[in-house]
Amino acid sequence: MSVKVNGLTKIYGTQRAVDQVTFEAKQGEVLGFLGPNGAGKTTTMKIITAFIPQTEGTATVCGYDTNSDPIAVNEKIGYLPEHNPLYKDMYVREYLGFVAGLHKINNKKKRIDELIEMTGLGLEQRKLIGALSKGYRQRVGLAQAMIHNPDVLILDEPTSGLDPNQLVDIRNLIKEVGKEKTVIFSTHIMQEVQAVCDRVLIINQGKIVADDPIDILRQKVAGQNIITVQFKQKVHKNQLLGIKNIKEIQAEDEFRWRISSGSDNDVREEIFDFAVANKLTILEMKRELSSVEDVFHQLTKG
């Protein structure tokens, strides 16, 4: 396992900002880290990157403990912090050269050229960082995180504030990098999770409330079985209440209904039997899985 976190806890005053967090991430995996504001994502990431110490528990990166081996952890990890602090008075290439120097990289020029190509910074490479737009600053942040070719990338909201085109570019980059490395990234954009991640970790009030592959996660949450059915004839809600094992019925119009079982029952068969018994014709019947967004609301509300 590239990243192993066990019973991690961070206490600020009386607040358990991170509370007994345990998870693992392996090579070739992109892990989406979700949670409401203040849930503990940034704090967890700062501990994994050996930026701040934990109160309890352990975190290891490629076998190195963040407390006893922070230098080794720094070599293995690339980190894009939440607010992407960059030296605004430095030029892009100068800054990347500086970071490459910190990592004692041989043949700095070649590596900087590669990163500039990879992150699409070609046209901006001779500018002052302070003169770059937000999206391009974010790319410089990604370039510095990857410059030493780390095995693990920890990206705290790497796509926040990007325009739709930049979003696609950066997501593709994350996906590409994730084929070989371990990537843990936080985001508030649910489509992004569906588009990029292999697995999702949801944290709420410092505690992990879900750790699953996306499809499993979507199936796990009640409300997963929403069947949309379109009849040829007008149907009244009272009639539909006769279907077995259902919980909720919503009309899209008098022909089209959303029927939910509220459990893990698939009620398509019951709907079909009901239609036959009532001499109704079904034109369309479709089962929807809940979206990551539904799951997120369900697990983090209250």
Ligand X SMILES: Nc1ncnc2c1ncn2[C@@H]1O[C@H](COP(=O)(O)OP(=O)(O)OP(=O)(O)O)[C@@H](O)[C@H]1O
Residue numbers of the site for ligand X (CB under 6 A)? Answer: 12, 17, 35, 37-43
Give CA–CA dist 230/258, Å, rounded.
9
- Per CB under 5 A, does 49 bind Mg ion? no
Taking the complex as a whole, how short is the minimal distance between the CB of residue 76 and ligand X, in angstroms?
A: 22
Taking the complex as a whole, how short is the minimal distance between the CB of residue 43 and Mg ion, in angstroms?
A: 8
Residues 106-145 vs Mg ion: string with x where CB under 5 A? ----------------------------------------
3-class SS of residue 110: helix
- Interstrand relation of 207-213 and 199-204 (parallel, antiparallel or unpaired): antiparallel
Taking the complex as a whole, how short is the minimal distance between the CB of residue 77 and Mg ion, in angstroms?
A: 17
**What does residue 222 show for φ and ψ, rounded to 5 degrees?**
-60, 155
Place of tokens 């290891």: 60
Asked if 198 contacts 27 with a C-beta cutoff of 8 angstroms, the reply is no
Cβ distance to ligand X smaller for residue 65 or 82: 82
Residues 66-105 vs Mg ion: string with x where CB under 5 A? ----------------x-----------------------
In the list 3, 4, 8, 42, the residue contacting Mg ion (rule: CB under 5 A) is 42
Q: E strand or H helix at 203, and its extent?
A: strand 199-204
3-class SS of residue 233: coil
Find all residues with CB under 8 Å of 227, minimum gap 6, and list them: 258, 259, 260, 261, 266, 267, 268, 271, 285, 286, 287, 288
Number of residues engaging Mg ion in binding (CB under 5 A) = 3
Taking the complex as a whole, how short is the minimal distance between the CB of residue 240 and ligand X, in angstroms?
A: 41
With contacts defined by CB under 5 A, name the span among 37-45, 47-55, 95-103, 208-216 that binds Mg ion: 37-45
Cβ distance to ligand X smaller for residue 25 or 271: 25
Cβ distance to Mg ion smaller for residue 46 or 199: 46
- Per CB under 5 A, does 166 bind Mg ion? no
Q: What are the CA-CA distances from residue 154 to residues 36, 53, 141, 228 (Å)?
A: 18, 16, 12, 40
3-class SS of residue 206: coil
Taking the complex as a whole, how short is the minimal distance between the CB of residue 206 and Mg ion, in angstroms?
A: 13
**Interacting residues with Mg ion (CB under 5 A):** 41-42, 82
